[in-house]
Amino acid sequence: MEIIKVLFVCMGNICRSPTAEAVFRACAENAGLSGQILVDSAGTHDYHIGDPPDIRAQRAAMQRGYDMGALRGRQVETADFIRFDYVLAMDRGNLAILQRLRPGDAAGHLGLFLEFAHRHSQREVPDPYYGGADSFERVLDMVEDAAEGLLQHIRQQALFSVSPGGANGTSQKK
């Protein structure tokens, strides 16, 4: 059974992309697809390699049931474009960097994460780093929306179908 691999990317990999990683991982688990979807995150810059997510992002996520404590920042690598089926940027600035880094033989989807959102028309996840707690809540709202849309898209593209016992982790690919 093929595993779908998704990489979320922001600038430093301590706010937006680890939030997306945690939320999307939970969505996949809740859909019974944790064994079929691999999720990771990275930054375009090397500012926070090895650092845990921003404590404010962790706090906001934990209030909604997402645990980001084990995540650590890393920088995107050229091999990520080959390894991942979806490389999703949080904003256009990081998308432009990714487009320059992407090797010519990369066949996966490269785009903005919020392309998959249904309830938010904005296409960039704003960086909450210099904002208050409400900025992190807004990011979570946007990320949850896009995560649901991405999961729906992947299910349609990969033809995943969750069996009636899907909540216990059983699923099958058609």
- In the annotation, is 16 catalytic? yes
Q: Which of 80, 85, 91, 127 is catalytic?
A: 127
10 is known as an active-site residue: yes
* Burial track 115-154 (b if 16+ CB lie within 10 A, e otherwise): ebbeebeebbbebbbeeeeebbebbbebbbbbbbbbbeeb
What CA–CA distances, in Å, run from 45 to 9, 32, 55, 73, 117?
10, 33, 19, 10, 25
Residue 100 — φ and ψ, nearest 5°?
Answer: -70, -35
Catalytic status, residue 127? yes
Round to whole Å and give the CA distance between 6 and 15. Answer: 17
The active-site residue out of 15, 16, 40, 91 is: 16
Beta bridge partners of 173: 160
Token pair for 161: 């179908």
Catalytic residue list: 10, 16, 127
